[in-house]
Amino acid sequence: MSFRSDFLWGGATAANQCEGAFDLDGRGLANVDVIPWGEDRWMVVTGEKKMFEFDETHIYPATHGIDFYHHYKEDIALFAEMGFKVYRMSLAWSRIFPNGDEAEPNEAGLSFYEDVFRECHKYRIEPLVTITHFDIPMHLVQAYGGWRNRAMIDFYKNLTRTIFERYQGLVHYWLTFNEINVLLHAPFMGAGICVEEGEDRFKVLYTAAHHELVASAWATKIAHEVDPENKVGCMMNAGTFYPQSCNPKDVLLAQQKNRENYFFVDVQSRGYYPSYVLKEFERHGFEIPSQDDDLRILREHTVDFVSFSYYSTKTVSADPSKMTGTNNLMSTAENPYLKTTEWGWIVDPLGFRITLNEIYDRYQKPLFVVENGLGAKDEVREDGTIEDDYRIDYLRDHIKAMKDAVEIDGVDLLGYTTWGPIDLVSASSGEMSKRYGFIYVDCDDFGNGSYARSRKKSFTWYKNVIQSNGENLD
Ligand code: BGP
């Protein structure tokens, strides 16, 4: 046996990619709602193009998602059928505080999530809740400029105290910010920020980073005060950067790229700004916008566990002309030893083991893999079946590598949630046709379809994996 007996197997989703019902029951507009599908998407995600309102020429996939809002009972029942021990999901901030800066929450939003949690517990599924998964009430973007503004810390504190108190006993595992490091690459999606012309991008983004880090530490503090049983984790977009060659220039660059990502977790897990980043701040003439007792809060309220998403490793070369690809929002050079998916994402199961080891070596805290999976096009046969062997192969190889990290290398791992156990809207492309699920959803890129759910071949496969605690991967 390699995985602990209470290993938390399950799947992960995000509110903006599955809920839909964007304007129901008092929910306010969020940054993620106005990110369109199509060629403008990337520019909006990065904040290079400002599109703060809907227009008639675009499609907005988050507005419909997979209508989880109305299907959650059916979906959770299917997760239970697979034997899920945990369901990672996120809260839409603007469902709870429609504008973000109100003193009092929206009861309809709070009770929706309470119902979802109760439904999970009906099947003994433990909710693992991401407090913010790329979403911010649009009012906070327009009136405050998103996370560049220190006022966000107080709004976030209000949000977190409200949910910790309301869901006490129903939720024990929390993640403060999904893929916190993504704010450097996709500032509008990650932090509600559009860097204005003439502004110093570095300063704006690291100011926002400081605010998020302090907010995360406050949330950890409040979570523990409200209920000492609460476990709070940080969450990074992981995947080791390899040097493309043994040229020390490539090796040094790979180290720097890794640090750019680890910086966030270094602060959240160790409790202080690492020396390499302080030096970089100095070179940029940037002073940490620290006020009051920020540094003490960071130091005293570090996370209980470290979670991350893993899709692939990245490869870097000191020769910029070789950095030709993009892999899950980050640029990469080609790795001649590895294949890529239909969307050009590198597939590297051994890199998963390497990444798990690297993170565990660095932090020595329990880890939680909260995203991993293959986005692929699925074909529904005439008889309605979906033979997604490619997805099974991908997951089998990754689970094997994860098992080696635990069994051979001794990594302390709490659980594993695959990304998108049910098909949902893709974060990077906005497509529905980039599917990750064990459960198929009849909905196309334009939001058309019956939204009916059906089991793919991988559904039974994953059920057996869970039933055997990762021993039966055939
Ligand atoms: C992660 C995000 C998820 C998810 C996943 C897959 O970066 O946390 O929200 O979407 O990537 O990416 P995509 O949907 O772009 O295929």
In SS3 terms, 403-426 reads as HHHHHCCCCCEEEEEEECCECCCC
- Averages of pLDDT over runs of 10 residues in the chain (474 residues) are 93 98 98 96 96 95 97 98 98 98 98 98 98 98 98 98 98 98 96 96 98 98 98 98 97 97 98 98 98 97 98 94 80 91 95 98 98 98 97 98 98 98 96 98 96 98 98 96
Task: State the distance from the centre of ligand 1 to the C-alpha of 426, rounded, in angstroms.
Answer: 6
| Residue 469 Cα to chain centre, angstroms | 24
Task: Pick the residue whose CA is nearest to atom 9 on ligand 1.
Answer: 427
Query: Measured between alpha carbons, how far is residue 424 from residues 66, 169, 430, 438, 450 in Å?
Result: 6, 29, 9, 11, 14
Query: What tokens appear for 115 in the block?
Result: 């119902």
Mention every residue, 6+ apart, whose C-beta is less than 8 A from residue 263: 181, 209, 274, 277
Taking domain 8-467, whether its CATH number is 3.20.20.80 is answered by yes
Atom of ligand 1 nearest to the CA of 237: 7
Whether 81 is a known active-site residue: answer no
Ligand 1 contact via 419 beta carbon (within 6 Å): yes
Phi, psi of 137 (to 5 degrees): -55, 135
Q: Which residues sit opposite 416 in a β-bridge?
A: 9, 369
- Whole-number pLDDT of residue 399: 98
- Tell me what pLDDT residue 330 has: 80
Q: How far is the CA of 297 from the centre of ligand 1 (A)?
A: 30
Q: Which helix (H) or strand (E) holds 203?
A: helix 201-226
**Single-letter amino acid, residue 333:** A
166 lines ligand 1 (CB under 6 A): no
Residue nearest to atom 15 of ligand 1 (CA): 428
Q: Can you give the pLDDT at residue 73?
A: 98
Query: Residue 371 catalytic?
Result: yes
Whether 328 lines ligand 1, by a CB cut-off of 6 Å, is yes
**Can you list the positions of beta strands (E) in 107-257?**
126-132, 173-177, 231-238, 241-243
166-170: Cβ within 8 A, 24+ apart: 166/110, 166/114, 167/113, 167/114, 167/117, 167/129, 168/226, 168/227, 169/227, 170/114, 170/117, 170/118, 170/121, 170/127
**Ligand 1 contacts CB of residue 236 (under 6 A):** no
- The closest residue, in CA terms, to atom 14 on ligand 1 is 426
**244 Cβ contact partners less than 8 Å away, ≥ 6 residues apart:** 250, 315, 316, 317, 322, 333, 335
- Among 84, 76, 100, residue whose Cα is nearest residue 152: 100
SS3 category, 201: helix
The confidence score (pLDDT) of residue 1 equals 61
